[in-house]
Structure 1
């Protein structure tokens, strides 16, 4: 089962995904995409680390998500990817302008062959105002396109609002 879990900042999407992973009864592999570029982000990462069970295997992968999924694929496991918007940010800021498209294509190409259950967590950013600067607009556009592509192939899509899951698909 492949699930896309969307929500705004502090919507409860990560907590919801963590609960699904824990309730699955399967070994959990967490692929964390965040990088601690400043003190506030380092604190966010620290809080996430405290909130998850110590038994989970944690892989930090800010760029090569498709490769990481293929390397860790296990039909007995559930893989939680948190989060896609941070992953996209890392790719947008990468020195190689081609890397964003390459990594997205790798991710989407590998999904049909993966046997592990997957939980993708991502921020829904398309419901606010149109950003004022070109990089922010590109981020919102790329995020929206990725969500649409993933929503087509995922078995289930859930939107989290105020901690409440709303099933959009599946």
Structure 2
């Protein structure tokens, strides 16, 4: 159907806006959460996100196999939110995936999102706006995140940038 990308810095309302965009497409709503519960901060963020989504979204927590989930299950939903693309990239890097593997998986995800039967709303962070990563993998992560963000933005039929909680439509 179509791909919408919602980007911005940390804590700027990207997820909230993505939920609203998805909700406009119908009552059958899916949510793919990529953040893993690794510490107190991530556990609190996951709990807050669950409360915000409520019961209207069917949620699958999947840190790695996002493309496969969209390929296999997106037909069950009017819209699916993927939250969060740069967290997903970080998960792949931390799992030891090389550049070529990450790029191939990102291409697969983009194809699944664009060609699938559901509206896909992808949430992503700009890595130049305070996104923290492990120092050892930061160069690889930043390069891959920038590349994948550009590719997703090019493929998106709608592109939004969040500024202080206010969405700005770019395309």
Q: In the alignment, is the contact (CA less than 8 A) between 2:12 and 2:165 conserved in 1? A: yes
1:74 match: secondary structure: helix
Q: Unaligned 5+ residue runs, structure 2?
A: none
* CA distance in structure 2 between the aligned counterparts of 1:60 and 1:4, rounded to whole angstroms: 20
The secondary structure found in structure 2 opposite 1:95 is coil
**Contact 2:28–2:57 (CA<8 Å) still a contact in 1?**
yes
Residues 10/127 of structure 1: CA separation in 2 closer, same or farther (3 Å cut): closer
Q: CA deviation at 1:61?
A: 1.2
| Distance in 2 (alpha carbons) for counterparts of 1:117 and 1:96 | 28
Structure 1 residues 112 and 164: alpha-carbon distance in aligned structure 2, compared to 1, 3 A threshold: closer
The residue number in structure 2 matching 1:114 is 116
1:95 Cα deviation (Å)? Answer: 3.2
1:141 lines up with 2:143 in the alignment = yes
Residues 3-47 of structure 1: CA distance to partner in whole angstroms, max 9, x if unpaired? Answer: 000011110111111112223333110011110111111111011
Asked whether the equivalents of residues 28 and 76 of structure 2 are also in contact (C-alpha less than 8 Å), the reply is: no
5+ residue gaps, structure 1, are none
The reply on whether 1:74 has 2:75 as its aligned counterpart is yes
| Inter-partner Cα distance in structure 1 for 2:134 and 2:62 | 30
Question: d(CA) in 2 for partners of 1:166 and 1:55?
Answer: 26
2:162 aligned residue (157, 160, 163): 160
* TM superposition shift of 1:63: 0.5
CA RMSD of aligned residues (A): 2.2
Distance 2:151 2:28 in 1: 27
Is the 8 Å Cα contact of residues 63 and 103 (structure 1) preserved in structure 2? no
Q: What TM-score do you get using the length of structure 1 for normalisation?
A: 0.89
The count of residues paired between Structure 1 and Structure 2 equals 168
Q: Distance in 1 between matches of 2:57 and 2:161?
A: 24
1:63 aligns with 2:27: no
Cα deviation, residue 87, structure 1: 0.4
